[in-house]
Structure 1
Amino acid sequence: MIDNLPYRQVGTEDLRPGGLLCVADHASNYVPEEIELGIDPKLLEEHIALDVGVEGIAERLARRHNMPAHIACVSRLVCDMHRREDEPAVVPTESDGRLVPGNIGADVEARLARFHRPYHNALADLIEQAKPKMLVALHSFTPALETGDEERPWEVALLYNQDDTAARHAIRLFGEQGLTVGDNEPYSGKQLNATMDRHAEANGIPYCTVEIRQDQIETEAGQARWALLLADVMGRVALEV
């Protein structure tokens, strides 16, 4: 973490109202030294700890495509920013069949005070300053879960809860690129949409929650390709909403 903050902001030096703003809740696998999760360190490189590839895309969008980014700096296993405070999974004791023993009996209130609230308060402040035309939430998903052998065919997917206006445009535009596009897959935004529920839907701000399959963005080349594609598609979506 930078300056002991659970987030960092890129490309926010010269905010222009009415643009696009990127949010990456699961960009980091960092675990503070004083927090012992009790898991094999190798698991920190896998999807249960972070959304693989997302940080590189958010960086590129901010630095090369004029889309400022609010990026998490702590692993979702420490505190999941993409959960409500009252959800048990905000400090998960298991993920995709993997037990996280160090979180059993953890001081959830302390984690919320140290990580979750500063992250979301800073995001709310940034949104107030930037007055974005649209929010773009970035996530990635595995080709298949450890706990299930069903393959996931979508290269990219759009999640939404009540407001699907921007998602509909994005689904169409990604489809025109020849991609297999998921509609509220592989997760449903009706159940998993906490950050956008709070910062977009509650404030009447259009948004796209974009899920990219991890094998598309594991390399820097893949991240650069998707940053360019996202900048183009999201820019066109913003013109429609």
Structure 2
Amino acid sequence: MGSFPRPVPTGLLGADDPPPVGLHNDEASSPFLIICDHAGNAVPAVLAGLGLPQSELDRHIGIDIGILGVSMALSDRLQAPLIFQRYSRLVAECNRRLDSPSFMTPISDGTPVPANQDPTADDRQARIREIVEPYHTAISTHIDHKLAAGQPLILVSMHSFTPSLRAAPAPRPWHVGLCYHDNRQFSDLVLTELAHQRDLVIGRNEPYGVNMAEDYSVPVHGEERRLPYVEFEIRQDLIADASGQVTWAERLAPVLKAACAHFGVEAGR
């Protein structure tokens, strides 16, 4: 597993902090590019855990539980590059536009985030420069290289969702949801393939859809570039352990390959 070069330290990321961008199978030649915005819950040491106990960083407000394991196993099965973010969404929400109120959210699912209550302009810019920009630059660079070489590319965005919100308790029945906006041709093919798995409760823009005004990854890298894409949301209790993560990778890999074939692109081995 590789990493993009660490940004030049400017007071946020120190020598012992991990680089923000993680890479897995980054030299693989599959047409799929897997991205994972909320893979980790690291916090720069200088931010002192954002003033939160580790138990809060470990729940869904700090990380998409289980999704990195699914993404890595899926990357291996598809022989597809995976680009993932190591820092918590509470440090900087990489799937939000910079002007979104939840980009550095002061409260998440009922939990106040002390370090986000009144951040300075310098703090905000450091989080953008050292955490957000390297991640999206890695994604854009990969896409640019593939398109410049005339090679097909299908974006696969991986997320997970909590079975119930603490601030608004209610069961969320979907096992997996797909999120999409106007450019839904590939997502529709994936939905058709998933429908063959009759034990699944499938959400269509449930529990979330694509918010073009506030979201970033799919709107910018998928919709605005007119790339085929699919965005998955998997319920976290199904992928909380390694066994569940492998099971879901094994569910999704043939689905993606079949959808790719129907789309007219060779998925590789």
Q: TM-score range by the shorter chain?
A: over 0.9
Q: How many residues align?
A: 239
2:257 corresponds to 1:235: yes
> What are the equivalent positions in structure 2 for 1:92-107 lying under 5 Å apart?
92-106=105-119, 107=123
Report the 3-state secondary structure (helix = DSSP H, G, I; strand = E; otherwise coil) of the residue aligned with 1:89: coil
Matches within 5 A, 1:6-25: 6-13=20-27, 15-16=28-29, 19-25=31-37
Q: Which residue of 1 aligns with 2:67?
A: 54
User: 1:197-225: CA deviations, max 9, x gaps?
Assistant: 11111111100000000111011011001
d(CA) in 2 for partners of 1:10, 1:112:
23
Please give the per-residue CA displacement for 1:151-179, whole angstroms capped at 9, x wherever unaligned: 11100000012212122222222121011
- Aligned Cα root-mean-square deviation (Å): 1.7
In 1, are the aligned partners of 2:20 and 2:86 still within 8 Å (CA)? yes
Q: Superposition pairs for residues 210-221 of structure 1, below 5 Å?
A: 210-221=232-243
Aligned pair in 2 of structure 1 residues 231, 193: CA closer, same or farther (>3 Å)?
farther
Q: Which residue of structure 2 aligns with residue 200 of structure 1?
A: 222
Cα distance in 2 for partners of 1:150, 1:120 equals 34
Structure 1 residue corresponding to 2:92, chosen from 79, 93, 116: 79
Give the C-alpha shift of residue 63 in structure 1: 2.8
Aligned amino acid, residue 203 of structure 2:
G
Cα gap change, 1:91/1:193 in structure 2, threshold over 3 Å: closer, same or farther?
Answer: closer
Q: Per-residue deviation at 1:239?
A: 2.2
Alignment partner for residue 209 of structure 1, among 200, 218, 231?
231
For 1:90, what is the secondary structure of its paired residue?
A: coil
In the alignment, structure 2 segments of 5+ residues that lack a partner are 7-17, 264-269
- The one-letter code matched in structure 2 to 1:237 is A
Deviation at 1:122, TM superposition (A): 1.2
Deviation at 1:193, TM superposition (A): 4.0
Unaligned runs of 5+ in 1: none
Task: Tell me, yes or no, if the aligned pair for 2:210 and 2:218 is still in contact at 8 Å.
Answer: no
1:110 matched to 2:126? The reply is yes
**Distance between the aligned counterparts of 2:78 and 2:191, measured in 1?**
21
Q: In the alignment, is the contact (CA less than 8 A) between 2:97 and 2:215 conserved in 1?
A: no
